[in-house]
C-alpha cells in the first residue's frame, strides 16, 4: 500500500527533525506535518488533535496510512497545569487511537518517556518491565497511554508502536517544558559566552540521546518487522547517561572559560525520581537498536551546530 504519513505535533522539538527525515525517505508529498498552529516556513498545516471531527476528516481526506502522534505536554510544564496536561496527553491520544481504529490506519507511533518510571526501580539499570509509579502528571499520562496502546493492539489489532525517549538533545529545534531541556540550554549559554544557570543538581544523572539517534530509533521501530516486536507497551532505548557536571566538564574541554552555576528547583525533584540508566536489551534484540552518539560526540556535534538554534531563538 502507498504510504501517506500524518505527523501530529510536527512543530515541536522532535516533530521538526522527524518531519524532515520522513520527507527525505517518503517524499514531501507523502508526509503531512500538522500542529495546533500553522507554520508556513516549515510547511505545517493547522490541526487540533483535541478536535476529533477535524482529525477524522483529515485522516479520511488524505487517506492517511501512518500516524506519528507527538503532541504532548512534557514533565515540567505538566506540573504547572496538571489538568491541561492530562487533557492534551490523554484525550489527544484517544482521538488518535479511535480514528486509527475506525479508518484502519496501518501503523501508529506514540512516544513514551523515561518519566514513566518512579519509585521502586533500580535507577542504575532500569529494565523494560518494572513497576511504573511516576510522580508527575506527564508520567502518569504516558503510563496510561502505554497501556491503552497495548489494549488497542490486543483488542483491535491496531499496530501501534512506542519508544520511551530519554532526554532528547539537538540543535535542530528548541525543546519546551521538559526536565531534560537543560542539556540543550547549556549549549546556548556556551555559544553566547554566558555562565549557565542549571536547574538540576550537579550530580543528577539522567539518560539522554542525540536527536539523530532518537529519529533513527523512531524510524527503525516503525519500519521493523511486525512479527519481531515483542513489546507493545513501550520500548526502553538507551544512548548515554550524564550529570550536569559531567556535560559541563566536557564542554570545558572545548571552552575552558565555560562556567556553570547550580540552582536546583522543582525540576530537580522530578529528575530525582527518574533512572540514570535504562536497560534497552529488548530494543537491541527485537529491532537491532544501537545508538551512534556518546557524550563526547554529542558535545562536538552540538558545539559545531548550535549557531543554528541560537539564530532561531531571536
Ligand atoms: N524530556 C522529557 C521531559 O523532560 C522526558 O521525556 O519531560
Contact 8, 64 (CB under 8 A): no
Q: Which of 68, 129, 138, 165 is catalytic?
A: 138
Specify whether 92 is located in the same domain as 223.
yes
Whether residue 38 is found in the same domain as residue 93 = yes
Q: Are residues 221 and 201 in the same domain?
A: no
115 lines ligand 1 (CB under 6 A): yes
Tell me if 220 is assigned to some domain.
yes
Q: Which residues of 291-301 are buried (b: 16+ CB within 10 A; e: fewer)?
A: bebebeebbeb
Domain count, the chain: 2
Whether 241 is in the pocket of ligand 1, judged by its Cβ within 6 Å, is no
Q: Whose CA is nearest to atom 6 of ligand 1?
A: 113
Residue 27's pLDDT is 97
For residue 177, which atom of ligand 1 is closest to its CA?
Answer: 7
pLDDT at 89: 98
For the chain, how far is it from start to end, CA to CA, in angstroms?
43
Asked if the structure places residue 281 within a domain, the reply is no
Q: What are the Cα distances from residue 172, in Å, to 10, 152, 181?
A: 13, 33, 14
Q: Indicate whether 285 belongs to any domain.
A: no
What pLDDT is recorded for position 264? 98
Residue 299 belongs to some domain of the structure: yes
Residue 286 lies in a domain: no
Same domain membership, residue 106 and residue 91 = yes
Please state, in angstroms and rounded to a whole number, the distance separating the CA atoms of residues 175 and 12. Answer: 7
The answer to whether position 227 is within a domain reads yes
Q: What is the pLDDT of residue 1?
A: 66
Phi, psi of 34 (to 5 degrees): -135, 155
Query: 287 in a domain, yes or no?
Result: no
Q: In this structure, what C-alpha cell is assigned to residue 6?
A: 500524518
Return d(Cα 200, Cα 209) in angstroms, integer: 18
Per DSSP bridges, beta strands 206-210 and 240-242 are: antiparallel
Q: In terms of C-beta density within 10 A (0-12 exposed, 13-18 middle, 19 or more buried), how is residue 131 classed? A: exposed
> What is the pLDDT, as a whole number, of residue 313?
78
Give CA angle at 313 (177, 276), nearest 5°.
40
Shortest-distance atom of ligand 1 to CA 74: 7
267, 261, 205: which is closest to 238 by C-alpha? 205
Instruction: Round to whole Å and give the CA distance between 251 and 239.
Output: 19
d(CA 186, CA 188): 5
Q: Which domain holds residue 303?
A: 169-207+239-276+292-313
pLDDT of residue 184: 98
What CA–CA distance (Å, rounded) separates 165 from 22?
18
Let me know if residue 115 belongs to a domain.
Answer: yes
Catalytic residue flag (residue 138): yes
Residue 173: helix, strand or coil by DSSP? Answer: coil
- Cell numbers 517518503 correspond to 26
Same domain for 107 and 174, yes or no, is no
Split the chain (314 residues) into runs of 10 and give each run's mean pLDDT. 94 98 98 97 97 98 98 97 98 98 98 98 98 98 98 98 98 95 98 98 98 98 98 98 98 98 98 98 98 98 97 79
Residue of 70, 167, 235 with the most ligand 1 atoms within 8 Å of its CB, for mutation: 167
- Shared-domain flag, residues 151 and 197: no
- Count CB atoms within 10 A of the CB of residue 286: 16
Whether residues 90 and 68 fall in one domain:
yes
The enclosing H or E element of 176 equals none
Question: Do residues 129 and 193 share a domain?
Answer: no
What pLDDT, on a 0 to 100 scale, did the predictor assign at position 312?
85
Q: What is the CATH number of the domain that holds 67?
A: 3.40.50.720
Which CATH number characterizes residue 254's domain? 3.90.25
Residues 158 and 176 in one domain: no
Do 139 and 154 fall within a single domain? yes
232 and 249 fall within a common domain: no
Return the pLDDT at 314: 62
- The answer to whether residues 223 and 302 belong to one domain is no
Amino acid at each position: 500500500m502507498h504510504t501517506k504519513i500524518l505527523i501530529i505535533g510536527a512543530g515541536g522539538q522532535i516533530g521538526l527533525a522527524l518531519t524532515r527525515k520522513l520527507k527525505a525517505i517518503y517524499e514531501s508529498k507523502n508526509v503531512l506535518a500538522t500542529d495546533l498552529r500553522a507554520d508556513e516556513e516549515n510547511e505545517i498545516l493547522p490541526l487540533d488533535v483535541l478536535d476529533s471531527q477535524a482529525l477524522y476528516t483529515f485522516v479520511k481526506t488524505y487517506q492517511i496510512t501512518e500516524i506519528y502522534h507527538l503532541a504532548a505536554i512534557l514533565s515540567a510544564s505538566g506540573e504547572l497545569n496538571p489538568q491541561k496536561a492530562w487533557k492534551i496527553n490523554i484525550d489527544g491520544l484517544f482521538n488518535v487511537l479511535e480514528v486509527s481504529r475506525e479508518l484502519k490506519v496501518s501503523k501508529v507511533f506514540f512516544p513514551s518517556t523515561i518519566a514513566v518510571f518512579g519509585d521502586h526501580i533500580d535507577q542504575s539499570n532500569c529494565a523494560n518491565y518494572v513497576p511504573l509509579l511516576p510522580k508527575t502528571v506527564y508520567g502518569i499520562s504516558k503510563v496510561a497511554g502505554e497501556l491503552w496502546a497495548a489494549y488497542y493492539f490486543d483488542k483491535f489489532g491496531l499496530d501501534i508502536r512506542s519508544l520511551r525517549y530519554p532526554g532528547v538533545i539537538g540543535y535542530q529545534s528548541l525543546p519546551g517544558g521538559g526536565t531534560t531541556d537543560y542539556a540543550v540550554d547549556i549549549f546556548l549559554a556556551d555559544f553566547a559566552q554566558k555562565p549557565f544557570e542549571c536547574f538540576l543538581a550537579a550530580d543528577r544523572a539522567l539518560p539522554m540521546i542525540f536527536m539523530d539517534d532518537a529519529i533513527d530509533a523512531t524510524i527503525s521501530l516503525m519500519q521493523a518487522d511486525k512479527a519481531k516486536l515483542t513489546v507493545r507497551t513501550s520500548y526502553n532505548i538507551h544512548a548515554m547517561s550524564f550529570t550536569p557536571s559531567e556535560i559541563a566538564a566536557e564542554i570545558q574541554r572545548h571552552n575552558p572559560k565555560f562556567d556553570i552555576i547550580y540552582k536546583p528547583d522543582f525540576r530537580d525533584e522530578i529528575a530525582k525520581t527518574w533512572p540514570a540508566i535504562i536497560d534497552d536489551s529488548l530494543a537491541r534484540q527485537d529491532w537491532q537498536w544501537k545508538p551512534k552518539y556518546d557524550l563526547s560526540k554529542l558535545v562536538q556535534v552540538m558545539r559545531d551546530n548550535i549557531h543554528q538554534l541560537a539564530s532561531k531563538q531571536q
